[in-house]
Amino acid sequence: MSLRRRLTVGTLESQLAWIRSIKESFGIDIPFPVIADYNMRITTMFNMYHPKERELGTIRATFIIDNKGIIRYILYYPNEICRSIDELLRVIDALKYSLQYKVLIPAANWKPGDKALAKLPENINEIEARM
């Protein structure tokens, strides 16, 4: 699981300006595609905005969608508060670990290397495999 796309409600021109400013300010190339959803079609489809804030143009929603197209995580931030990149990275690490080892992450502050819980078996084959 990794960042594959960035969706914004800005125009293509505003996104190119954003990409250039990141390069100029921090010397970083953006390594993923940026989707300019200027007509808000995708944003509306996923209901990514609060109706009262639609006209503001800034939508602070983060969706993590797995390779099968399943939404694994949704987080909305108010426009006055920036996202916590550390928390996003922690969630991605926890999802990857949980999927890889088929475990549950028991703590809100879990970090790689912390303990996890075994999932309950879902069928007879899983029960027999544990015996």
DSSP letters for 5-31: -EEESS-HHHHHHHHHHHHHHH-----
pLDDT score recorded for residue 3: 54
Euclidean distance between CA atoms 12 and 130, whole angstroms: 53
List, for residues 52-79, the tens digit of each pLDDT value.
665 555 667 788 888 888 888 988 887 7
Query: Band of the pLDDT at 5, cuts 50, 70, 90?
Result: confident
CATH 3.40.30.10 placement within the chain: 1-83
The identity of residue 83, as a single letter, is R
User: Tell me, which fold does domain 1-83 have in CATH?
Assistant: Glutaredoxin (3.40.30)
Euclidean distance between CA atoms 67 and 82, whole angstroms: 27
Query: Band of the pLDDT at 118, cuts 50, 70, 90?
Result: confident
List, for residues 8-58, the tens digit of each pLDDT value.
777 888 889 988 998 999 898 888 888 888 888 888 887 777 666 655 556
List, for residues 77-104, the tens digit of each pLDDT value.
877 888 888 888 899 899 999 988 888 8
| DSSP reduced 3-state for 120 | coil
